[in-house]
Amino acid sequence: MIRINENFLKLQASYLFSDIAKRIAAYQEANPDKSIIKLGIGDVTEPLPLACRDAFHSAIDEMGTRSGFHGYGPEQGYPFLREAIAQNDFQARGADISADEIFVSDGAKCDSGNFQEIFAEGIKIAVADPVYPVYVDTNVMAGRSGPSVDGRYQGFVYLDSTPENGYVPAIPSEPVDLIYLCFPNNPTGATATREQLSAWVEYARESGALILFDAAYVAFVRDDSLPQSIYEIPGAKDVAIEFRSFSKNAGFTGTRCAYTVVPKGLTAADSKGEQHSVHALWNRRHCTKFNGVSYPVQRAAEAVYSDGGRAEVKALTDFYLENAKIVRAAIEDLGYACVGGDNSPYIWIDARRPSWEFFDDLLNEAGVVCTPGAGFGLCGEGHIRISAFNSRENVEMAMERIRKALAK
Ligand code: PLP
């Protein structure tokens, strides 16, 4: 008889977005003449850069010719894109990463969710709280947790991100094997300094742990003192994998292109203590289960590194950062403490009351939708996330409404 993977039954249903939708529907029914502004969304809103569209168009035209047609490409990505990534995102910043350490994929969601597959079932997982849920759920599916009790899966080590630690978690006191870090962070918008990341790298080197570093939001970093890649930290190449994406810098959320860096010298042990290349294992996994990103999409992604593409990506991210600045200024003026929004598109607000209560206040008093922090973990309770992905007009109108509503 066909049977299921019972680990899936441990997964807690996320009611976050359906609860938000229900409350919006109730508000709209009671207030049919009032408009709603949604500042809860993690998807980008601005169109694709012209440089990317031009490259996309030309690649499609090429595909219409016998000589320029591309069928299955290399699973790891075309050399032109892997070279551009290695040179521009790493070597130009002094990080010694080569093109053959880059695996191009269709999303940082899939990569950050799938990477755990190549490690043993019994390893100890550490995740931040609040957290991007993909890291947690994929490890639950893989059988690395017990049941969820009071909002936390048994067996995982949760790293609290709180106002006290500036939303950058401390190194755990108990041993862990696989650590998920995300900076700039979703949902908090917090960034980690060079010293903070160095401490994590040092911990991983000393303890034999591996760090999965999600840098999906790196294009928003404007503070030059902040590291943009974990490989800017000495010694990280031996203990860290990095996930990047074209979703939030160049608006590829619907176009789909991302990449993962797996240094060639990085190893992990088998049950006998013998070391194996993580690069070789990931390459095997990637080639077995993935057939490459389409040629036109990879050409469009390559254009991000052209002079025109660079300028457009800077303008796009500057635009969202200006939105974030407007949000943060308005919320701080009202006396709320926030983090994020300066090197990140997310503003994380200490609501000084339960998340859902603040959510309801903003919806009912101002017609503005945010994301309740409680949906991202226990430590998210008492916070809300506001996203800068919206039009300027909507952001300004939303802040004006919030000022009026909360200043009452
Ligand atoms: N990582 C984080 C932290 C994210 O917030 C997101 C999307 O919101 C992703 C990864 C997904 O990126 P992609 O669009 O490349 O799958």
Same domain, 148 and 123: yes
- Give pLDDT tens digits for 299-335: 999 999 999 999 999 999 999 999 999 999 999 999 9
Residues 205-227 have a mean pLDDT of 98
CATH number of residue 18's parent domain: 3.90.1150.10
Task: State how many domains the chain has.
Answer: 2
Do 57 and 195 lie in one domain? The reply is yes
User: Is residue 316 a contact partner of residue 105, using CB atoms and an 8 Å limit?
Assistant: no
pLDDT one-digit tens code per residue, 61-93 = 999 999 999 999 999 999 999 999 999 999 999
Cα(352) to centroid of ligand 1, in Å?
28
Last residue of a domain, one of 305, 338, 365: 305
Q: From residue 352, how far is each of 55, 196, 381, 383, 384 by CA, in Å?
A: 48, 27, 10, 7, 10
| Packing angle, helices 392-406 and 307-333, rounded to 10 | 10
Asked if pLDDT for residue 14 goes beyond 80, the answer is no
Domain assignment present for 7: no
Q: What is the CATH number of the domain that holds 167?
A: 3.40.640.10
The answer as to whether 328 is a domain residue is yes
Domain match, 298 and 326 both = no
Q: Which residues line ligand 1 (CB under 6 A)?
A: 42, 107-109, 112, 132, 182, 186, 214, 216, 245, 247, 253, 258
pLDDT digits (tens, 9 = 90+) for 160-185: 999 999 999 999 999 999 999 999 99
Cα–Cα separations (whole angstroms), residue 159 to 145, 173, 219: 16, 10, 25
CA–CA separation, 96 vs 115, rounded Å? Answer: 22
Residue 41's pLDDT is what? 81
- At position 167, the amino acid (one-letter code) is Y
**If you ran DSSP here, which 8-state letter would residue 147 be given?**
-
| Candidate of 245, 260, 293, 389 to mutate for ligand 1, largest count of ligand atoms within 8 Å of Cβ | 245
The residue whose CA has the least distance to atom 3 of ligand 1 is 186
pLDDT at site 35: 93
Asked if 164 and 132 sit in the same domain, the reply is yes
> Is 301 found in the same domain as 318?
no
Mean pLDDT value across residues 227-246: 98
Answer with the one of 278, 305, 332 that is the final residue of a domain: 305
What mean pLDDT value characterizes the chain? 96
pLDDT in tens, 125-169: 999 999 999 999 999 999 999 999 999 999 999 999 999 999 999
pLDDT at 40: 87
CA distance to 172, 193, 220, 296, 315, per residue, from 228 (Å): 24, 10, 10, 27, 18
Element (H, E) at 110: helix 108-114
Domain that holds residue 229: 52-305
Do residues 169 and 379 make contact, with C-beta atoms less than 8 angstroms apart? no
In this structure, which residue's CA is closest to atom 11 in ligand 1?
109
Question: Do 103 and 117 fall into the same domain?
Answer: yes
pLDDT in tens, 345-387: 999 999 999 999 999 999 999 999 999 999 999 999 999 999 9
Same domain for 139 and 268, yes or no, is yes
227 and 81 within one domain:
yes
Residues 63 and 127 in one domain: yes
Q: Same domain for 290 and 213?
A: yes
In terms of domains, do 195 and 70 share one? yes
